[in-house]
């Protein structure tokens, strides 16, 4: 097939321009395979798309996009705001190669306070929200949420246990013994007293910290005057717990209540965006992002694309403070207001505390970018060393590392981690639940299954190896036997050009004495202080951590599985009703038919199903 030229792409675009309306909408550039190259929005589709025919005015990145364009698709919208929202949604979902992409789908954790229970609980939450529950956040990391929940439990003694545990308690748990819960599960606190605890939690998380701390101080003083020194010490400890939450906030300001501070720094074709979260006047942490596709994009354009995509998956706060004035700031504010259902203000502060916060975020963005660039230079040297060590033709762009984990053959899983020039690529990690049939503990058979599934799928989905999903190097956690199993699989699949290396722990599993196995070479070792050895150890340790973590999660899930899950026709609601009535799955299994029929929400036919399941009925 004749290679596509820029002129060919321009001709395709001109054909579409002729029939386009002078109206707002979203357009998509598609390649020969129908995959999206670029997604854009326009106030006027006709005029905006026509700009791509004037290639001399386009940056190199977009000229390449025009050259690869074979088709286009369009969606007309009523307003430009609707077009902006749709554009953000499509970029986030499709991740076109020539757009500026956030490439971070990890949701932020929140603190969840249940409102649909007589005695609400606080817990960590990710994902979709339920209307009958209150959420506070977002927090920049799960660790920040965990520390805050621990401090809240010490300060307000609100329960953190699951409803299933709460409903089956017959005596107080350890949390009550260490004074982190008032034990509402066994009636050691009245509903009214507990409601007051929950109200204080809400006030604190909503930013009314001074009132809460003042109340605690008053209670401590009153107990002291009554000579109830043990009670006073308890209030003192609760005040200290609240102070610990406050002390963890690096930057606080009375001028900002609920706001996100977003700052960008660009150097050498790379951009870092720092986001700081402030809720109730307190800093809930920050996170750094490195969007892709920013090489020839002004920092204002990068920041605008980032903000639009960032709030695609989460509600924006009332105020967003920015380091740079955006190109379409008013339009973006209008779109976020429509999405949030409340007024959202985007501003670039010029003075005062808000300016100081933005400056602090900019400094963090600059430092994070400099660290990343320094790490990238070091990473490049290490990958060059890996290529030299294993005889590769070039530094590997994608390294895949495999390991298995199980206990006596049960809950067996395989883990795959991926690394490249930018470090660990965690979005590309994969887990494999071993399906078998495999003899318990047969590590070689497990590795054969994992590699067969991984590379069999790669052959089906990317046979031409154009999507960047094929590795330049495969590392196997194991010695000669694991390597032989891997080579057998690759031979059966007809994959002969992917280098395979086994990395075995040294005698007594000592780090630094690892042996490497490759086809056609004698096993070899590296000097204990070799930087490449340290790098390969990091890869091996990461896949080991990932495989063990996946195995533990699967084992925990199997342990938590209730016998009621095996009863056909018993969903979460009926399961909950049975457990609340009888207290445990074991008690349900022992119950008589009449007792089962007496459970609210359980029909006679459902009761018969449950009874027959546990008593061998037909």
Task: Determine which of 13-22, 31-40, 249-258, 477-486 has the lowest per-residue pLDDT on average.
Answer: 249-258
Q: Are residues 413 and 433 in the same domain?
A: yes
Q: Are residues 242 and 263 in the same domain?
A: no
Strand, coil or helix: 39: strand
392 domain residue, yes or no:
no
Please report the pLDDT score of residue 492 as a whole number. Answer: 92
Helices marked H in 311-442: 329-340, 352-390
Q: With 90 as the cut, is the pLDDT of residue 346 above it?
A: yes
103 domain residue, yes or no:
no
The encoded tokens of residue 202 equal: 């809400």
Looking at 94, 118, 146, the residue that finishes a domain is 94
Q: Are residues 114 and 243 in the same domain?
A: yes
17 domain residue, yes or no:
yes
Please report the pLDDT score of residue 1 as a whole number. Answer: 47
For the stretch 289-308, pLDDT in tens is: 888 888 778 899 899 999 98
590 domain residue, yes or no:
yes
Q: Are 599 and 578 in contact (CB under 8 A)?
A: yes
Domain span at residue 158 reads: 110-247
Q: With 50 as the cut, is the pLDDT of residue 248 above it?
A: no
d(CA 541, CA 533): 12
Q: Are residues 347 and 238 in the same domain?
A: no
324, with CB counted inside 10 A (0-12, 13-18, 19+), is: buried
- The domain spanning residue 419 has which CATH number? 3.30.420.340
For 252-279, what is the mean pLDDT? 83
Q: Are residues 427 and 470 in the same domain?
A: yes
Please report the pLDDT score of residue 250 as a whole number. Answer: 47
- The domain spanning residue 68 has which CATH number? 3.40.1440.10
How does residue 473 score in pLDDT terms, banded at 50, 70 and 90?
very high
- The domain spanning residue 325 has which CATH number? 3.30.420.10
Q: Are residues 80 and 116 in the same domain?
A: no
The encoded tokens of residue 53 equal: 């025919």
- Helix (H) or strand (E) run with residue 542 in it: helix 531-560
- Helix (H) or strand (E) run with residue 405 in it: strand 399-407
Domain count along the chain: 5
**Higher local confidence (pLDDT), 441 or 475:** 475
558 domain residue, yes or no:
no
384 domain residue, yes or no:
no
For the stretch 367-399, pLDDT in tens is: 888 888 877 778 888 999 999 999 999 999 999
Looking at 94, 119, 138, the residue that finishes a domain is 94
d(CA 420, CA 312): 28
For the stretch 90-129, pLDDT in tens is: 988 888 989 888 766 567 888 888 887 889 888 888 877 7
Which of 16, 83, 79, 77 lies closest to 50, judged by CA?
Answer: 16
Buried b (16+ CB within 10 A) or exposed e, 189-226: beeeebeebbebbebbbbbebeebbeebeebbeebeee
- Helix (H) or strand (E) run with residue 216 in it: helix 209-225
Q: Are residues 416 and 525 in the same domain?
A: yes
DSSP-derived letter for residue 78 is S
The encoded tokens of residue 549 equal: 């973590």
The encoded tokens of residue 450 equal: 């994992």
Which of 102, 612, 557 lies closest to 307, judged by CA?
Answer: 102
d(CA 496, CA 512): 30
Q: Are residues 232 and 273 in the same domain?
A: no
Strand, coil or helix: 137: coil
**Higher local confidence (pLDDT), 475 or 229:** 475
Buried b (16+ CB within 10 A) or exposed e, 23-41: bbbbbbbbbeeeebbbbbb
Which of 406-415, 465-474, 555-564, 573-582: highest mean pLDDT?
465-474
160 domain residue, yes or no:
yes
pTM of the model: 0.64
Q: Are residues 409 and 359 in the same domain?
A: no
E-strand ranges in 471-582 read: 473-477, 500-504, 515-517
Looking at 480, 512, 531, the residue that finishes a domain is 531
* Positive or negative: CA dihedral 452, 453, 459, 465: negative
Residue the block writes with tokens 């190669």? 97
Q: Are residues 28 and 119 in the same domain?
A: no
Q: Are residues 131 and 18 in the same domain?
A: no
Q: Are residues 138 and 49 in the same domain?
A: no
DSSP bridge partners of 76: 25
253 domain residue, yes or no:
no
For the stretch 328-340, pLDDT in tens is: 899 999 999 988 8
Mean pLDDT for the chain overall: 84
């Amino acid at each position: 097939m004749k290679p596509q030229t820029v002129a060919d792409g321009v001709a395709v675009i001109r054909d579409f321009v002729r029939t386009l309306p002078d109206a707002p909408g979203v357009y998509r550039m598609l390649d020969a395979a129908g995959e999206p190259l670029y997604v854009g929005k326009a106030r006027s589709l006709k005029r905006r798309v026509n700009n791509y025919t004037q290639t001399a005015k386009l940056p190199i990145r977009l000229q390449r996009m025009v050259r690869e364009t074979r088709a286009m698709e369009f969606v007309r919208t009523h307003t430009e705001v609707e077009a902006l929202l749709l554009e953000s949604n499509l970029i986030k979902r499709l991740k076109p190669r020539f757009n500026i992409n956030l490439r971070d789908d990890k949701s932020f954790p929140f603190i969840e306070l249940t409102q649909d229970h007589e005695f609400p609980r606080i817990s960590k939450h990710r994902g979709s929200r339920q209307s009958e529950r209150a959420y506070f956040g977002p927090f920049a990391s799960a660790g920040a949420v965990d520390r805050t929940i621990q401090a809240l439990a010490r300060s307000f003694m609100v329960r953190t246990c699951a409803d299933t545990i709460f409903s089956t308690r017959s005596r107080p748990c350890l949390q009550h013994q260490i004074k982190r819960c008032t034990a509402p599960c066994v009636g050691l606190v009245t509903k009214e007293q507990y409601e007051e605890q929950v109200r204080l939690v809400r006030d604190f998380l909503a930013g009314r910290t001074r009132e809460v701390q003042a109340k605690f101080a008053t209670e401590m003083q009153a107990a002291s005057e009554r000579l109830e020194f043990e009670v006073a010490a308890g209030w003192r400890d609760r005040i200290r717990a609240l102070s610990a939450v406050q002390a963890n906030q690096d930057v606080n300001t009375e001028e900002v209540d609920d706001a996100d501070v977003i700052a960008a720094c660009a150097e050498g074709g790379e951009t870092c965006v720092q986001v700081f979260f402030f809720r109730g006047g307190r800093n809930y942490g920050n996170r750094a992002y490195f969007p892709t596709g920013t090489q020839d994009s002004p920092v204002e354009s990068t920041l605008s694309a980032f903000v639009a995509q960032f709030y695609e998956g989460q509600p924006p706060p009332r105020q967003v403070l920015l380091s740079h004035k955006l190109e379409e700031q008013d339009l973006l504010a209008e779109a976020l207001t429509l999405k949030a259902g409340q007024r959202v203000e985007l501003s670039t502060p010029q003075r005062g505390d808000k300016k100081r916060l933005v400056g602090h975020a900019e400094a963090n963005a600059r430092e994070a970018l400099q660290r990343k660039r320094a790490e990238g230079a070091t990473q490049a040297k290490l990958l060059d060393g890996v290529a030299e060590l294993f005889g590769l033709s070039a530094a590997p762009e994608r390294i895949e590392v495999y390991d298995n984990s199980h206990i006596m053959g049960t809950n067996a899983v395989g883990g795959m981690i991926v690394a490249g020039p930018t470090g660990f690529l965690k979005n590309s990690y994969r887990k494999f639940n071993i399906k078998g049939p495999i003899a318990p503990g047969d590590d070689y058979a497990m590795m054969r299954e994992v590699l067969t599934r991984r590379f069999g799928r790669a052959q089906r989905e990317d046979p031409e190896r154009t999507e960047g999903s094929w590795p330049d190097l495969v590392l196997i956690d194991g010695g000669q036997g694991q390597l032989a199993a891997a080579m057998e699989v690759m031979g059966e699949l007809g994959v002969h050009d992917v280098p395979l290396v086994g990395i075995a722990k040294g005698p007594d599993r000592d780090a630094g004495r690892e042996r490497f196995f490759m086809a056609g070479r004698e096993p070899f070792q590296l000097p204990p202080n070799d930087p490449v050895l340290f790098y390969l150890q990091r890869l091996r340790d990461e896949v080991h951590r990932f495989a063990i973590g996946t195995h533990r999660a699967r084992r925990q899930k199997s342990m938590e599985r209730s016998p009621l899950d095996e009863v056909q026709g018993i969903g979460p609601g009926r399961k909950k009703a049975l457990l609340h009535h009888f207290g445990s799955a074991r008690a349900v299994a022992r119950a008589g038919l009449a007792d089962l029929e007496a459970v609210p929400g359980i029909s006679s036919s459902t009761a018969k199903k449950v009874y027959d399941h546990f008593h061998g009925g037909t």
